[in-house]
Amino acid sequence: MRLYYLTSLHIAKMILRERRMKLSLFNELNDPFELLGASIGDKLARRVFKTILLKHWTDTLGIICLSQTWQSPVMWAHYAAKHHGVCLGFDVPDYLAREVRYSPDRLTNMLNNNQPAAGLEQQKLEAVLTTKFADWSYEREWRVFALLQERDANGKFYVDFGSNLTLRSIVVGARCEIAVPDMAKLVLRPEKPVDVWKARPAFTEFRIVRQQRVPVLTVS
Q: What are 144-154's pLDDT values in tens digits? A: 999 999 999 99
DSSP alpha helix (H) spans, the chain:
9-18, 43-46, 54-60, 73-79, 122-129, 180-184
The answer to whether 9 and 176 are in contact (CB under 8 A) is yes
pLDDT tens digits, one per residue of 83-139: 999 999 999 999 999 999 999 998 877 766 555 555 566 787 788 889 999 999 999
The answer to whether 208 and 76 are in contact (CB under 8 A) is yes
- For residue 91, the SS3 value is strand
Tell me which residue of 92, 107, 81 sits closest to 10, measured CA to CA.
81
- For residue 110, the SS3 value is coil
Which residues sit opposite 38 in a β-bridge?
107
Dist. CA 173–CA 80, nearest whole Å = 8
